[in-house]
Chains A and B, each alone.
Chain A
Amino acid sequence: MSRAGATGKPARRHKAGQAAGGDEERRPALAELLAGGAFAGIALVGMTSLANNEYLELGRTGSDPGPGFVPWIALTVLLIGGVGHILIVLRRALVHGGFRAADGGFSPARLWMPGLMLLSLVAYQAALRPFGFLSASIAFAIVWVVILHWRSGEGLCARHVVQLPAEGVALAVGVYLIFRHGIQVPLP
């Protein structure tokens, strides 16, 4: 039995307990392949970094196993485990006749809003130094209070034109006051 098969035992036990329905239920989702791929990918990136680190071996003195010791072990297990997971998922797909139909977890309809949020957070972070914490936060808060209000499906009435921006400003100013003046955090 391969190493991957041996380590995969707990996973199979778990899945077996979960699958109660028909064959479709027993089929793995495509997303499960991604999980294995992610681990293997991270391991490879980390290994490249370790292998190209010219300084690491300089640090070994005496009986110290060195700064690369634990990372190499961890990444090797991660790589084997990631590839092993892919193999297990493929085997299950083979046994049960293909992959489960996608459940829409990765459809653009669900991903666009989180994606937009991540992008706007990166922009917010980048704006903190040039524009200062207060202005950047107010802008971010107003925009997102409005978007989330729209997203909650409640209608827009006249008072919202004032209320929503006011909520955004209040949030940003409140956090600013507490952190900057309450606890003297040197916010940019």
Chain B
Amino acid sequence: MKLKRFAALALSVAMLGLAGVGTAAAFPDKPVTLVVPWPAGGGSDTLMRMIAEGATGSLGQPVVVVNKPGAGGSLGLREVAESPPDGYTMSMVATGFIAEQYGNPNSPTLDQYKVVAFIGVDPAIIAAGKDTGIKTLEQLVAEGKAEPGKLRNANDQAGGTAFVAASLMEIALGIDLTLVPYQGSAPVVQAIMSGETQTATPSVTDLIAQHKAGEVTILAVAGAERHFLAPDIPTFTEAGFPLVTGTVRAIVVPAETPDEVVAKLEAAIMAALGDEDFKKRATAAGFSIAPLGSADATAFLQKMDEDMYPVLLEAGLVKVRQK
């Protein structure tokens, strides 16, 4: 009896080993988890749920969005980095993750992941409050140079997307802003509208309605081209200050995940991103969709990592993993 049980156990262990070899063919035979390291209900969460819905169809197994918020996303990301590299656990990463690597000793690093796909960049903007009278980027530069540090900018916490965007804009424009941190985008909008800060650097979607109502003026968009929601607003590059930054979104898996599995996930996500119906809804909600496959996405994130490091260093945000 005992022997029989032992044999059964040994057999199942062997089977598991075999299964490990044969995953690629059988993958996926159970639901795939897509971790969103932020609370339910946010912008990225909504977008990921739309993508999960689309990817479910082409993958043949449900893609389930699981929110694992905490510590600016690094708790969820770390959990994914340490999860079994079998392709059943994916995660979304965003701009903040690049900064978090150098600011938080507990954050995972980019090389702990394989990038499955790149979703797009929601460009950052810089907007000025109504009372400042600033209408163009030139006026802002003039005002900023006149009295360094006098202009206050509303952004998120040190290392967050809007913070990094503001830091990059300071360098590109050659001005010095006082960066005031707020929790999330709603308080940022409130801050610039109430006049507590003169400028703000959130995403286009956060301020476009206020811009159209004349409450604030969006001075420039930090995208490669003009934003579809704000076709009349120039880019930084057009205005003579080359700069592209914003909320970068990509999907990653643990680094040891087999390439065949990554390829299957990539195909499913790219199919979801390419779907016309999805594109229509995502665009209506204000998300920029510019999909890149695994190879291009990896190159993009690596370049971003390299580009951002000096900026973070200058902003005093590199506390660990100095290069």
Residues of chain A whose beta carbon lies under 8 Å from any beta carbon of chain B:
55, 58-59, 61-62, 184, 186
B319 contacts the other chain (CB 8 A): yes
Distance to closest chain A CB from B67 (angstroms) = 9
Q: A58-B319, A59-B158, A186-B64 are in contact. List 7 more A-B contacts (CB 8 A).
A: A55-B319, A58-B316, A61-B316, A62-B178, A184-B64, A186-B33, A186-B66
- With a CB–CB cut-off of 8 A, which chain B residues contact A59? 158
Q: How many A-B residue pairs have CB under 8 A?
A: 10
Mask for B84-126, Cβ within 8 A of A = 1, else 0?
Answer: 0000000000000000000000000000000000000000000
Chain A min CB distance to B1 (Å): 23
How many Å lie between the Cα of A93 and that of B104 in the bound state?
49
| B residues less than 8 Å from A58 (CB atoms) | 316, 319
Closest to A55 in B: B319
**Complex CA distance for A58 and B313, rounded to whole angstroms:** 12
Report 10 cross-chain contacts, Cβ distance below 8 Å, ordered by A residue. Answer: A55-B319, A58-B316, A58-B319, A59-B158, A61-B316, A62-B178, A184-B64, A186-B33, A186-B64, A186-B66
Closest B residue to A64 by CB, please name it: B181
Tell me the B280-304 residues at the A interface (CB within 8 Å): none
Shortest CB-to-CB span from A135 to chain B, Å, is: 18
Using C-beta atoms within 8 Å of the partner chain, give the interface range for chain B: under 10
Contacts of A55 in B (CB 8 A): 319
Give a binary string over B47-67; 1 marks a CB under 8 Å from any A CB, 0 the rest.
Answer: 000000000000000001010
A2 to chain B, nearest CB (A): 40
A55, A184, A186 — most chain B CB neighbours (10 Å): A186
Contacts of A184 in B (CB 8 A): 64
Distance of A55 Cα from B64 Cα, bound (Å): 37
Q: Mark B63-92, 1 if CB is under 8 A from A, else 0.
A: 010100000000000000000000000000
Taking CB as reference atom, which chain B residue is nearest A63?
Answer: B178
From B31, which residue of chain A is reached at the shortest CB distance? Answer: A186
Complex alpha-carbon distance, A124 and B306, angstroms = 45
Point out the residues of chain A lying under 8 angstroms from B319, CB to CB.
Answer: 55, 58
Residues of A within 8 A of B178 (CB): 62
Interface string of B150-171 (1 = CB under 8 A from A): 0000000010000000000000
CA distance A62 to B177 in the complex (A): 11
**Cβ of A66 to closest chain B Cβ, rounded Å:** 12
CA–CA, A184 and B31, complex, Å: 13
The docked-state distance in angstroms from the alpha carbon of A55 to that of B106 is 13
Write the nearest CB–CB distance from B183 to chain A, whole angstroms.
Answer: 15
A136 to B174: give the CA distance in the assembly, Å. Answer: 60
What residues of chain A lie closer than 8 Å to B66, measured between beta carbons? 186
Chain A's closest residue to B181 (CB) is A64
- Minimal beta-carbon separation of A132 from chain B (angstroms): 14
Closest Cβ–Cβ distance, residue A68 to chain B (whole Å):
15
Which residues of chain A are within 8 angstroms of B33 by Cβ–Cβ distance? 186
